[in-house]
Every structure is written in structure tokens, then in C-alpha cells.
Amino acid sequence: MSVLDLHKVQAISKGNSAIETQLFKRFDVLVDECLAKIDPFITVENSKAQSMMVHKLKPNVELLCSAPFHELTGFLNEQLKHNTVDEKLNGSFEQLISYLIDLKSELTAQLSA
């Protein structure tokens, strides 16, 4: 399954490859930033920083990514708003990291095409 939804990208860009490239470049920078900051083990102490990172990532995911990735960021955003730190949240962050790694690979492929 692709994490990046190219149909969404094409709808936003109206087929303009220059706009698509700009979207990919900006999203690539954000993904790098998130991968550098994300901590797969969420604690009460780091939940605010992780919440800010998910909040920053969420609108881009909504616009450009597949439904499961979008649903995951929505779930994480809600859980972190309520400061719910448990094993399920930590497992979801591990899934987020996996999605981000896959997304990074897909963005790299799109930018080198």
C-alpha cells in the first residue's frame, strides 16, 4: 500500500508537475523534521512535544496521504490532546514511524523521477 496518495496530489496540483514537485519537496522537509524529533516511546513528559509534531504533520497528511495514515494522525492527535499515554499510543507511534519511513521513500522516488 502506498502512503502517498498521488490522486490527491494530482487533484491539488491540477496536473501541474512543478506544483507537485514543490509539494513533494516541502513535505519531504517536514518528514525529515518529524523523523528527527519523533520518539517512539511516549511519556507524560514528552507528550506535549510529540503532540506538537503530530499537529504540524496532520494537515499535510490529510491533503496528500492515504486514509490509514490520515486516520492514524487523527487518532494520535486526539489521544495526545487528552494526555492519554498508554501502550496503544506507543504502538501507534511505532506505526507512525513506519508510515513516515515509507513516505520518505515514496517522496524520494517522486523527487528523483
Taking only the tens place, the pLDDT of each residue in 12-36 is 999 999 999 999 999 999 999 999 9
pLDDT tens column, 57-105: 999 999 999 999 999 999 998 888 887 788 888 899 999 999 999 999 9
CA distance 40 to 61: 19
26: left (phi over 0), alpha (psi -120 to 50) or beta: alpha
Contact 49, 37 (CB under 8 A): yes
Q: Is the pLDDT of residue 45 over 90?
A: no
Tell me the sheet residues that pair with 65. Answer: 4
CA distance 7 to 20: 11
CA distance 20 to 9: 7
Q: What is the mean pLDDT of residues 36-41?
A: 84
> Is the pTM higher than 0.85?
yes
Q: How far does CA 7 lie from the centroid of its chain? A: 17
